[in-house]
């Protein structure tokens, strides 16, 4: 096990986070604040409680999830795309470090950043609305699990992308719509029956629902299913990464 | 007399126990381009080996496979006895690579990037050692400078520092002095010699034949994915080198006397010089006969000089001959 190698990649990636502190942390805080002002205060005051939770508090878990997904994907995909783009990946490829160790370094750093951002948003949200966390351990578990899973997904996108445009296209065209339609701002029980069924094909529904359950003890779908679906998605990502390194797909000629 | 083939002679230098052994190595890229065709090559412990070849000959592909950046299609490579695929960890720990392109991070400091490389190759931090490398490469004053603020020559030094950060036994230098000024080139040659003295085996590819001529113990020539020759540098120059004798005449000639005409003898355009080309390997150079016959014709010269063909001439004739 090349522990020094994992540490080198992890610290390199974290250094990138600290260097870009403003855009890494200030921008999610700003956008979350805006969401709370618009959805929480302006619209939320006219909305009824959902499942016994005020609308402002109801959207907190969904907003954190939204940021976790986008930040995990963008940070992890950028982390592996840049060495490919500049050519510095030669050093990773020529180093005595295994595929798993490389992934632990990159994905670990991306997930760490996401957890930090999620925590900051949580604290920021507390300034706007009052909420409680019923199952804090589960809340942290979902936070970490989601960060890791979507950082793995981001890593795959970073390997797949061979242009900056491709790097943006999946987060923009697929993840953001899925996140918005995944019940971040509403309960899927508010949808017409047909669309409720459709929503169940959206993986983000399970994440948001499970995460919200850890806050308020209410969920759209059973928390066990939420957990299972998150793990399933993680396994799919791990399998894809295993295949990438085995074949050298887009990394090794 | 046939010249001795030093490349096949076992010696205490470790010809029987090569540090790198390449056998039957082929590479066909997904595009269908065959970059290497059944390459066999052995690098001896502690030598400086220069790999020469025109653009697209397969130099970089060969190095990239040995270093783990490109997958081979067929064939095997061992580095210090370790298979580069099965035992990639011990194999790669021994190898340092300075690639051809100046591929560096931009925002990292020199100090951070060299320490990153050391960690990546599985070595615990050793600030004293990294400090020594940076000082040896005249980078110490720049240690806190971001890489993007460095000149091209300085970036090249940073890449060498990165490659040396984990104390490799084998160093690959892919076109180390391409686009580098004379001073840095001298520095680099001195550094390479110093490394060899400390026991590091060095494999360099180059376009500059003077570099191979200056530095290498042995020379391999690669063309169109095939190693066409591997030879001790001195033997190669002796074996393939041509010598020329130039006679500066007292009175310019309009034309050569008919009985002196041969493919070995030429008259310069102004008629003032006679140029005789001979093979250093043949027992009879023909110089004595030539001088005697010139004398018979009453052709006198006031000066003479000889010159040997450079490695560059040898190289060009080799590559041309095969293409």
B210 vs B173, higher pLDDT: B173
Q: Which residues of B touch A92 (CB under 8 A)?
A: 120
Across the interface, whether the CB atoms of A95 and B30 are under 8 A apart is answered no
- Chain B residue closest to A5 (CA)? B120
Q: How far apart are CA A36 and CA A57, in angstroms?
A: 10
Residues of A within 8 A of B115 (CB-CB) are: 8
A107, part of any domain = yes
B121 and A CB contact within 8 Å: yes
* Nearest beta carbon to residue A252 from set B71, B105, B122: B71
Q: Helices H, strands E: what count in chain A?
A: 12, 0
More confident residue, B283 or A55: A55
Residues of B in contact with A5 (CB under 8 A): 119-122
Among A7, A90, A97, beta carbon nearest to B99: A90
Which of B168, B173, B115 minimizes the C-alpha distance to A96? B168
Of A164-173, B34-43, B54-63, B280-289, which has the strongest mean pLDDT? B34-43
Mapped onto helix, strand or coil, the DSSP state of residue B305 is: strand
Identify the DSSP state of B77.
E
**Is B123 in Cβ contact with A94 (below 8 Å)?**
no
Q: Which residue of B has its CA nearest to A96?
A: B89
Does residue A253 sit within a domain?
no
Domain-located, residue A252 = no
Max Cα distance, chain A (Å)? 60
Inter-residue contact A62 to A70 (CB < 8 Å): no
Q: Tell which A residues from 74 to 93 touch B, by Cβ distance under 8 Å.
A: 86-88, 90-93
Measured between CA atoms, the residue of chain B closest to residue A83 is: B105
Domains B6-238 and B241-322 share a fold: no
Nearest to B121 among A7, A11, A95 (CB): A95
pLDDT band at B247 (very low <50, low <70, confident <90, very high): confident
Helices first, then strands: H and E counts in chain B = 10, 14
Mutate to test the interface with A, among B31, B33, B60, B122 (most CBs of A within 10 A): B122
Interface check B123 vs A, CB under 8 A: yes
Report ipTM (2 d.p.). 0.86
Length of chain B: 323
Q: Where do we find the tokens 């959902």?
A: A50
Q: Residue B321's pLDDT is what?
A: 65
pLDDT at B9 over 60: no
Q: Measured between CB atoms, does A66 come within 8 Å of chain B?
A: no
Check whether B283 has a pLDDT greater than 70. no
Question: What tokens does B15 get?
Answer: 């010809």
Relative to beta strand B201-206, strand B218-223 is unpaired
Does A14 have pLDDT greater than 50? yes
Locate all alpha helices (DSSP H) within chain B, ordered by sequence.
59-67, 88-93, 110-120, 127-136, 152-164, 182-197, 209-215, 233-240, 287-296, 311-322
Nearest CB neighbour to A4, from listed B68, B71, B119: B119
Share of chain A above pLDDT 90, in %: 42
> What's the distance, CA A209 to chain centroid?
14
* Residue (of B191, B196, B197, B193) closest to B135 by Cα position: B191
pLDDT for B75 equals 94
Q: Tell me the pTM.
A: 0.82
Options 2.60.120.560, 3.40.1800.10, 3.40.50.300, 3.40.50.980; CATH of B6-238: 3.40.50.300
A159-163: Cβ within 8 A, 24+ apart: A159/A80, A159/A81, A159/A84, A159/A244, A159/A249, A159/A250, A159/A251, A160/A250, A161/A77, A161/A81, A162/A84, A162/A250
User: Which tokens belong to B115?
Assistant: 């320490």
pLDDT at residue B105 above 90?
no
Annotated domain spans of chain B: 6-238, 241-322
> Hey, what are A47's tokens?
């909305």
Q: Find which of B119, B129, B147, B172 to mutate to test the A interface (most A CBs within 10 Å of its CB).
A: B119
Given a cut of 90, whether residue A179 has pLDDT beyond it is no
Q: How far apart are CA A200 and CA B36, in angstroms?
A: 52
Query: Cβ separation of B120 and A97 shorter than 8 Å?
Result: yes
Q: Phi, psi (5° rounding) for residue A40?
A: -70, -55
What is the domain range of residue A125?
A: 3-247
Asked if B57 contacts B101 with a C-beta cutoff of 8 angstroms, the reply is no
Say what the pLDDT of residue B311 is. Answer: 66
Summarised one tens digit per residue, pLDDT across range B265-282 is 888 888 888 888 877 666
User: Under DSSP, is residue B284 helix (H, G, I), strand (E, B) or coil?
Assistant: coil
- Name the residue among B70, B104, B117 with its Cβ closest to that of A253: B70
Across the range B123-137, mean pLDDT stands at 93
Q: Is A100 exposed, middle or buried (0-12, 13-18, 19+ CB in 10 A)?
A: middle
Mean pLDDT for all residues in chain B: 85
Phi first, then psi: what are they for B6, rounded to 5°? -65, -25
B11 versus B79: the higher-pLDDT residue is B79
Tell me the three state secondary structure of residue B52: strand
| Residue B148 in contact with partner chain A when CB distance is under 8 A | no
The answer to whether B70 contacts A5, with C-beta atoms less than 8 Å apart, is: no
**Does A18 reach chain B within 8 Å, measured CB to CB?**
no
Give the range among B110-119, B196-205, B292-301 with minimum mean pLDDT. B292-301
CB-closest option in B68, B116, B121 to A93: B68
Helix or strand holding residue A67 (H, E): helix A55-86
Give the CATH number of domain B241-322: 3.30.70
Contact residues on chain A for B80, CB-CB shorter than 8 A: none
Chain-chain contact of B122 with A96 (C-beta, under 8 angstroms):
yes
């Amino acid at each position: 096990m090349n522990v020094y190698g994992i540490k080198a990649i992890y610290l390199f990636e974290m250094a990138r986070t600290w260097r870009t502190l403003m855009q890494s942390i200030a921008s999610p805080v700003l956008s979350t604040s805006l969401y709370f002002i618009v959805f929480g205060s302006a619209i939320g005051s006219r909305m009824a409680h959902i499942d016994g939770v005020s609308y402002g508090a109801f959207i907190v878990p969904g907003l954190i999830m939204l940021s976790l997904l986008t930040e995990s994907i963008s940070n992890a995909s950028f982390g592996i795309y840049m060495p490919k783009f500049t050519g510095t990946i030669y050093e990773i490829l020529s180093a005595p470090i295994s595929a798993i160790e490389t992934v632990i370094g990159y994905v670990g750093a991306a997930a760490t950043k996401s957890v930090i951002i999620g925590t900051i948003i949580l604290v920021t949200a507390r300034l706007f609305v009052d909420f409680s966390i019923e199952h804090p351990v589960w809340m942290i578990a979902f936070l970490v699990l989601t960060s890791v899973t979507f950082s793995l997904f981001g890593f795959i996108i970073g390997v797949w992308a061979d242009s900056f445009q491709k790097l943006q296209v999946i987060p923009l065209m697929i993840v953001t719509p899925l996140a918005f339609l995944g019940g971040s701002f509403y309960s899927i029980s508010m949808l017409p029956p047909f669309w409720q069924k459709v929503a169940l094909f959206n993986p983000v529904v399970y994440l948001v629902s499970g995460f919200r359950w850890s806050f308020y003890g209410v969920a759209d779908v059973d928390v066990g299913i939420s957990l299972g679906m998150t793990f399933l998605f993680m396994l799919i990502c791990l399998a894809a990464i295993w295949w990438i390194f085995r074949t050298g797909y887009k990394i090794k000629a | 007399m046939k010249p001795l083939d030093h490349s096949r002679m076992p010696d205490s230098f470790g010809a029987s126990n090569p540090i790198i052994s390449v056998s039957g190595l082929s590479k066909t890229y997904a595009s269908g381009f065959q970059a290497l065709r059944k390459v066999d090559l052995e690098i001896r412990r502690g030598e400086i080996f220069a790999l020469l070849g025109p653009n697209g000959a397969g130099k970089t592909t060969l190095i990239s496979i040995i270093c783990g950046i490109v997958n081979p299609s067929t064939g095997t490579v061992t580095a210090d006895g370790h298979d580069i695929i099965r035992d990639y960890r011990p194999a790669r720990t021994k190898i340092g690579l300075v690639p051809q392109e100046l591929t560096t991070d931009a925002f990292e400091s020199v100090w951070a990037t060299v320490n990153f490389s050391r960690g990546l190759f599985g070595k615990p931090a050793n600030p004293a050692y990294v400090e020594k490398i940076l000082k040896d490469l005249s980078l110490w004053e720049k240690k806190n400078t971001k890489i993007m603020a460095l000149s091209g020559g300085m970036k090249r030094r940073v890449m060498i520092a990165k490659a040396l950060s984990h104390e490799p036994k084998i160093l690959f230098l892919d076109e180390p002095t391409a686009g580098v000024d004379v001073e840095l080139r001298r520095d680099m040659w001195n550094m390479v010699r110093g490394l060899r003295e400390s026991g590091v085996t060095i494999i360099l590819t180059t376009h500059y034949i003077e570099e191979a001529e200056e530095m290498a113990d042995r020379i391999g020539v690669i063309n169109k994915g095939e190693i066409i020759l591997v030879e001790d540098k001195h033997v190669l120059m002796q074996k393939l080198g041509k010598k020329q004798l130039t006679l500066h005449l007292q009175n310019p000639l309009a034309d050569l006397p008919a009985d002196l005409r041969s493919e070995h003898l030429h008259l310069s355009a102004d008629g003032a010089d006679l140029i005789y080309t001979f093979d250093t390997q043949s027992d009879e150079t023909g110089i004595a006969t030539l001088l005697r016959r010139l004398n018979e014709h009453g052709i006198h010269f006031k000066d003479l000089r000889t010159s040997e063909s450079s490695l560059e001439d040898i190289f060009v004739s080799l590559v041309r001959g095969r293409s």
